[in-house]
Amino acid sequence: MAGRSFWWVNAALALLLVILAVVSLMVGPAGLSWRAALHGLFSGDGAAGVIVRDIRLPRTLLALAIGATLGLSGAALQGLLRNPLAEPALFGAPQAAAAASAAVIGFGFASAISLAVPLAGILGALVSIGGLVAIAGRRASLTVTLLAGLALASFAGAMTALVLNLAPNPYVALEIAFWLLGSLEDRSTDHLLIAAPFFVASWILLAANARAYRALTLGEDAAASLGVDLNRVRAMVVVGVALGVGAGVAITGAISFVGLVAPHLVRRAAGSDPARVLLPGALAGSALLTVADITVRAIPGADELRVGVVTALIGVPFFLAMIFSERRVLEGAPS
């Protein structure tokens, strides 16, 4: 019965993503009906074809891919650490990607929508992986790895602040600040093609360890006795999260709470097995980010609201509700 419920949840989320993708192609300054959007998508004729294929389709695909990466990364980290509060920023890669991208903008090498920005961000994420391995060592414990990641994250945050402080003029600093808030505006197929290999590599590395996440629910010693190579699993998860989330941040700027919230939305349906949370967590992440991106385009205004702001506004109330729910459980438990 539980297995049937699990696959129904996945099917429902997949159908929801199809609907959200069509809505995403419809919504924007030039509103389109679903018929016009689909006709423009498949035929490419007329103004609708240009709007859908050149502007809205890359944006929609990026929202789906980045959301899936964040959701999958959050589910994998929560399974690895056996902690429901684990999220993708733990190892410093998103902060390093943001710092490198901000430096490119701040020192005048490129504008915020240039392809040089995501390339620099991805390079920053890769450098952070190398730094993490060099600092923590290849056989470091999970605690040492987390401490090294937090140190790198703090350093990258300080570098971003330094870039803002050294910005040659207020307009450049404002451009960096707006980019850091997160946005899918003006993203093209080129951005998608740059990031896609990193997303795919991330998905493979994180999903390949599903059995290990399941074994880790019994504890590290029990998992090791079942043949799980803990050092290898940790390395694969760290690299997978850094590649995927680093590439996502490099494209869009900071997108908060999706990696934390998405696995929790599906955990009750998926059960206590962390391996079963991976797929629905990725689908829920795609849905959350796509909804947020649709929302920012649907709100009228001279300037588009940043998608990172919307995900935070969605995530914080959910996070607080989860805290209150846990508190009620603890208060109701016998002492």
pLDDT-derived band at 69 (thresholds 50, 70, 90) equals: very high
**Token pair for residue 127?**
């450098």
DSSP assignment of 172-229 equals: HHHHHHHHHT---TT--HHHHHHHHHHHHHHHHHHHTTHHHHHHHTT-HHHHHHTT--
Summarised one tens digit per residue, pLDDT across range 193-227 is 988 999 999 999 999 999 999 998 888 888 888 88
Residue among 89, 11, 65 at smallest CA distance from 266: 11
33: in domain: yes
The highest-confidence range among 6-20, 216-230, 231-245, by mean pLDDT, is 6-20
Least confident of 94-108, 149-163, 300-314: 300-314
* pLDDT above 60: residue 32: yes
User: What value does the mean pLDDT take over residues 232-237?
Assistant: 88
The more confident residue out of 113 and 235 is 235
- How many structural domains is the chain composed of? 1
What mean pLDDT, rounded, does the chain reach?
86
71 within 8 A of 263, measured Cβ to Cβ: yes
In-domain check, residue 160: yes
CA distance 261 to 249: 17
Q: Name the least confident of 24-28, 154-158, 265-269.
A: 265-269
Characterise 219 by phi-psi region: left (phi > 0), alpha (psi -120 to 50), beta (else): left
- For 28, which DSSP code? S
* Average pLDDT of the segment spanning 96-110: 85
Please tell me the predicted confidence (pLDDT) of residue 330.
Answer: 65
Higher-pLDDT residue of 295 and 117 is 295
Regarding predicted confidence, which is higher, 321 or 27? 27
331 within some domain: no
Give the separation between CA 101 and CA 237, rounded to whole angstroms: 24
Range of the domain at 117: 2-294
Q: Over range 218-239, report the average pLDDT.
A: 87
pLDDT (average), residues 238-242: 87
Q: Residue 250: inside a domain, yes or no?
A: yes
Check whether 158 has a pLDDT greater than 50.
yes
User: At residue 64, does pLDDT exceed 90?
Assistant: yes
Q: Tell me the percentage of the chain whose pLDDT exceeds 90.
A: 28
Give pLDDT, residue 323: 74
Find out whether 75 and 277 touch, Cβ atoms under 8 Å.
Answer: yes
Q: Flag whether the pTM goes above 0.85.
A: yes
CATH of the domain at 179: 1.10.3470.10
Query: Residue 61: phi, psi to the nearest 5?
Result: -65, -35
Q: Which of 90-94, 227-231, 282-286 has the lowest mean pLDDT?
A: 90-94
- Band (1; pLDDT cuts 50, 70, 90): very low
148: in domain = yes
Whether the CB-CB separation of 6 and 277 falls below 8 Å is answered with no
Report if residue 306 sits inside a domain.
Answer: no
The answer, yes or no, to whether residue 302 has pLDDT greater than 90, is no
Residue 154 located in a structural domain: yes
Other Cβ atoms within 10 Å of 180 Cβ, number: 21
- CB-based contacts of 17, cutoff 8 Å, min separation 6: 64, 283, 286, 287, 290
pLDDT (0 to 100) of residue 290: 95
The answer to whether residues 208 and 76 touch, using CB atoms and an 8 Å cutoff, is: no
User: 278: pLDDT confidence band, cut at 50, 70 and 90?
Assistant: very high
Tokens of 25: 């192609």
Q: Domain for residue 229, yes or no?
A: yes
